Amino acid sequence: MAKDRKPSPATAGLPPKPAVIPETAIPEIVVAAPAWRRLVPRAEALARRAAAAGVTLGGTDAIGMGAISVVLADDRAVRRLNARHRRRDEPTNVLSFPDCGGGGLILALGVVLREAGAAGKRPGHHLAHLVVHGVLHLAGHDHHHPGDARRMEMAEARILRRLGLPNPWRRT
């Protein structure tokens, strides 16, 4: 009989891998602001795991989603995009850009760090939450109405739990 092996720290808390991971579920991660690597431990790996989980566990809306990219940027880059596309001249935590082949997310380092600090959360946990949040937007989820917001929050909490991360909506 084979002994039960403990999962490695890299896979602890992850759901079992499906037999075949669709090519579209493997996101591209671009570190446009090198400070992400210094200020958020394992930022690329967290973003990759969170995006893949969002695509594969995000419900029926995510099943046909194409490839996605996640850009880890600074506040200035996100502010420019937010002004251009949403007419809001300020950085925001995450922007999502859907397209017919999947879409892209861009996250602002300073905003992510400030929000995590204000909420008493680890920056990596907040990063993972925002990536899942953005992927759900790309899959068609929204939070403009209370019922939709609650469904989206529940989906985020479920996906993060499968990653072994805390529920971002639970008050500590």
- Is the pLDDT confidence value at 72 over 70? yes
Domain boundary assignment for the chain: 23-162
The pTM score is: 0.82
Helix 123-138, helix 146-162: angle, nearest 10: 120
Contact 28, 69 (CB under 8 A): yes
pLDDT tens digit sequence for 151-166: 999 999 999 999 999 9
- For position 1, what pLDDT does the model report? 40
- The CATH topology of domain 23-162 is Collagenase (Catalytic Domain) (3.40.390)
Contact 109, 117 (CB under 8 A): no
- Is the pLDDT confidence value at 67 over 90? no
Give the residue carrying structure tokens 């967290």: 46
